[in-house]
Amino acid sequence: MSENNELRKAGLKVTLPRVKILQMLDTAEQRHMSAEDVYKALMEAGEDVGLATVYRVLTQFEASGLVTRHNFDGGHAVFELADSGHHDHMVCVDTGEVIEFMDADIERRQKQIVEEHGFELVNHNLVLYVRKKP
């Protein structure tokens, strides 16, 4: 990803903190990161970006469509790059781990249910709260 081009396309000025945060989101092993996760990763990488700046930049990224914010039950907000297609999530209630999945049968059935009730599906967000089997 060319961070400078992505920022410009989103209508944001290219600044060092924005570039560093976008790079972190793009290269991190963890796809769903809280503001605190981003801040800690930047600190570990030796980057001097304050936590308030991380929060502000993530909010700007969300407003411009670069990231998607998720507020899963029982937890704080996490962010993911908005570069992938539609997918749903499973959240482990014990660890907080977020697992992405896509299931064509679920997608088809949701559309059928909506149509059966006389509506048109505009958008949806499916989150399954899970726990590892003992």
DSSP helix/strand/coil, 114: helix
- Give pLDDT, residue 91: 92
Question: How far is residue 82 CA from its own chain's centroid?
Answer: 7
Q: What is the pLDDT of residues 59-116, one digit of tens each?
A: 999 999 999 999 988 767 999 998 778 899 999 999 888 999 999 999 999 999 999 9
pLDDT tens profile 21-34: 999 999 988 889 99
pLDDT in tens, 36-56: 999 999 999 999 999 999 999
Q: What is the pTM of this model?
A: 0.81
94 φ, ψ to 5°? -90, -40
Q: What is the DSSP letter of 49?
A: -
Burial of residue 27 (CB within 10 Å: 0-12, 13-18, 19+) is exposed
pLDDT band at 1 (very low <50, low <70, confident <90, very high): low
